[in-house]
Amino acid sequence: MPRLSEVIAALDALWPPERAEQWDAVGTVCGDPDAEIDRVLFAVDPVQEIADEAITLGAQLIVAHHPLYLRGTTTVAASHFKGRVVHSLIKHDIALHVAHTNADTADPGVSDALAGALDLRVTGPLVAENNLGRICELDHPETLSEFAARAAKRLPTTSQGIRVAGDPTMIVRRVAVAGGSGDGLFDAVRAAGVDAFLTADLRHHPASEAVQHTPLGLVDAAHWATEWPWCEQAASQLDEISDRNGWGLRVHVSKTVTDPWSSHHNSGAPN
């Protein structure tokens, strides 16, 4: 049975912390380096529901994509919801490790997992300088509407579902994908000459400018849904490391939906 420090070293080899953006907060949040690990839970968000799931599962380590303390803190008091997470984890000897933007730019990384979930063929990075996002090809052309339906079918269900901008009948052959917030990548998307862009968190003005600027199809999914496939990919990577080292780890992926949006209502016609 490996110690936490050995498992963390393996995770850091997959997603080197030095590849994280300067503003990011990655690495181990809590945990005893000498503690023995035999069960690991992967999740997108280190929220209380995931901590409770790890407790029930008997996991000694949570690997989360999103940081618990992205902007720092001066307290871990249990009177605050983040502090309650820390207290729950420490009380039950559960470590928390975060791989965020260092997992976004890994190879394979978050966008590779997103492309894989939709059965897209990756041809290269969207932004070569930092290996962010992916340019992909479809096995056969689809309309934008059909491609959006593919995303809706293949990605986890959320209340947002899939939003689409652009001509639904336009033909899509090449797409750019970026897990998580992607509207800062429009310059790279336009330079790539793709037909459509699948990402999350698209804001009004960047999206409006993108479809006015070029005949680009936009497919906007929930942030959590575009990053959850990484959990399955990452769990598989750790499984392989465990088998190679004879660790015997039991690796799980949380299916708890931690997307913050809980319901959706279509707007009616104006009165």
Q: Residue 112, annotated ligand binder? A: no
Question: Where are any strands of DSSP class E within 182-261?
Answer: 196-200, 217-221, 250-253
129 and 69 share one domain: no
Confidence of residue 105 (pLDDT cuts 50, 70, 90): very high
Rg (alpha carbons) of the chain, rounded to whole number: 19
Q: Residue 65, annotated ligand binder? A: yes
Task: Find the CATH number of the domain harbouring 119.
Answer: 3.40.1390.30
Burial environment of residue 59 by CB neighbours within 10 A (0 to 12, 13 to 18, 19 or more): buried
Q: Residue 140, annotated ligand binder? A: no
Count structural domains, the chain. 2
Q: Is residue 261 assigned to a domain? A: no
- Contacts with 118 (C-beta within 8 Å, 6 or more apart), sequence order: 150, 151, 154, 155, 177, 198
Residue 72's pLDDT is what? 87
> What is the C-alpha separation between 49 and 2, in angstroms, rounded?
26
pLDDT, tens digit, for every residue of 186-213?
Answer: 999 999 999 999 999 999 999 999 999 8
262: which DSSP letter? -
Q: In the predicted model, what is the mean pLDDT of residues 159-169?
A: 96
SS3 267: coil
For helices 4-14 and 223-245, angle between their N-to-C axes, nearest 10 degrees: 120
Q: Which domain holds residue 42?
A: 4-103
Token pair recorded at residue 234: 């990452």
Q: Residue 223, annotated ligand binder? A: yes
pLDDT at 271 over 70: no
pLDDT, tens digit, for every residue of 20-50?
Answer: 999 999 999 999 999 999 999 999 999 999 9
Q: Is residue 185 assigned to a domain? A: yes
Amino acid letter, 190: R
> What is the C-alpha separation between 144 and 152, in angstroms, rounded?
12
pLDDT, tens digit, for every residue of 37-95?
Answer: 999 999 999 999 999 999 999 999 999 999 999 998 999 999 999 999 999 999 999 99
Q: Is residue 236 assigned to a domain? A: no
109 and 168 share one domain: yes
87 and 144 share one domain: no
pLDDT at 130 over 60: yes
Q: Is residue 233 assigned to a domain? A: no
- Minimal CA–CA distance to 196: which of 214, 223, 180? 214
179 and 77 share one domain: no
Q: Residue 205, annotated ligand binder? A: no
Cis ω for the linkage preceding 108 (within 30 of 0): yes
71 and 140 share one domain: no
